[in-house]
Amino acid sequence: MLDLKFVRENPEIVKENIKNKFQDSKLPLVDEVVELDKENRDAKQKADTLRGERNKISKEIGGLMAKGRKEEAEELKKRVVENQKELAELEKKETELEEKILKIMMTIPNIIDPSVPIGRDDSENVEVERFGEPLIPDFEIPYHTEIMEKFNGIDLESARKVAGNGFYYLMGDIARLHSAVISYARDFMIDRGFTYCVPPFMIRSEVVTGVMSFAEMDAMMYKIEGEDLYLIGTSEHSMIGKFIDTILPESDLPQTLTSYSPCFRKEKGAHGIEERGVYRIHQFEKQEMIVVCKPEESPMWYDKLWQNTVDLFRSLDIPVRTLECCSGDLADLKVKSVDVEAWSPRQKKYFEVGSCSNLGDAQARRLKIRVADETNNKYFAHTLNNTVVAPPRMLIAFLENNLNADGSVNIPAALQPYMGGKKIIK
């Protein structure tokens, strides 16, 4: 969420940013919120004047009563009553205006970084760099569920009976591989200085609206019926929520956390839930990383975060590339974002396995996450997040890139301690 003062003083910059995000339908909101803000400030000023008059009259009444001039005092009391009625109306108006202003401000997108490429949707994202050599083996690579089925490692049919499409049972070595990747990712991030955390898997609505846009909320979140609780779509939400309504000493920054959680997503409006695959699903597990830092340090942390994911995938012999998200593909709260994509030898192309985002002070402003410096000057923190690894999507890349012609799968050295020392599964 933007600073209202910034919008008031820079409406044309805000409008240009909206155009760059191809959200022209939101352009009228800028003038509307500026006008509402003016009306609200006028109401506040009038209310302050009335409060000052009321206090002055109250003192006069006290003086008149002390001198026995009751009739004059009673006349002034009538003015106080009238004053109070008008003040009550103004205060009600202020509340209504502030609610309207907040609703609009929660809808206006954040200002994107100047380095973000301008584009309408994800088809215009820009490749930045490749890591590792993409290889295509001289044998045919089956669809990922076929690979898993040969290990008796997946049961989609039973899952459909139990929960419907978008769910799965992982079994045996495939299930163990899934857990091994999560455990390895946890230790990988701990070794890089991040504090491990297992967060709540449900969050209240004030946290949901603090960490994401209304559009994202509608498309992703499952609400618990009869409760002010939502199942998390990613642990980033509850991890950032951990700092809601806090003032952090500057000396405590940065806060660097890595978290494990299951994730639940409606995938509303997505490309459809696959019946035979585990690429787009309603439930999965993930290792996440988040940073809360000083504003001037967020670009540095942004580069560190996506590099962590690249390094993890390369340690498992998986070629990856980074893809800069264009303006139209950025969620409204994001300043800048890069996707990490893994190589698929079967499809002969890359596909998304993680996303790293710098949100500037948008989440901190919504959640009131502030920092106090040595002089007790307070400012909003910057927040960032990035996927460490998200099985089972990551398993697709892992199995395809480590598959042998005989159907066995190599276990890279880094993962072998988490697989009981196994170097290969057959």
Domains in the chain, ordered, with CATH? Answer: 4-105 (1.10.287.40), 122-425 (3.30.930.10)
Say which residue, 279 or 331, is predicted with more confidence. Answer: 331
**Cα–Cα distance, 159 to 258 (Å, whole number):** 30
- What is the model's pLDDT at position 272? 55
Average confidence score pLDDT of the chain: 92
The helix/strand/coil state of 202 is strand
Residue with tokens 């008149």: 64
Whether residue 159 has pLDDT greater than 90: yes
Residue 38, pLDDT > 70, answer yes
pLDDT at 125: 97
Query: Is residue 88 over pLDDT 90?
Result: no
Low-confidence winner among 53-67, 122-136, 157-171, 371-385 (lowest mean pLDDT)? 53-67
SS3 label, residue 96: helix
Grade residue 66 by pLDDT with cuts at 50, 70 and 90: low
Residue type, 414: A
Instruction: Provide the token pair at 323.
Output: 């893809």
pLDDT bucket at 53, cuts 50 / 70 / 90: confident
| Tens of pLDDT, residues 107-121 | 999 999 999 999 999
pLDDT value for 140: 94
Strands (E) across 268-346 are located at 283-293, 320-324, 336-344
C-beta separation of 350 from 343 below 8 A = yes
Cross-strand partners of 324: 126, 338
Q: In what order do the strands lie in the sheet with 378-380?
A: 246-249, 369-372, 378-380
pLDDT in tens, 278-291: 888 899 999 999 99
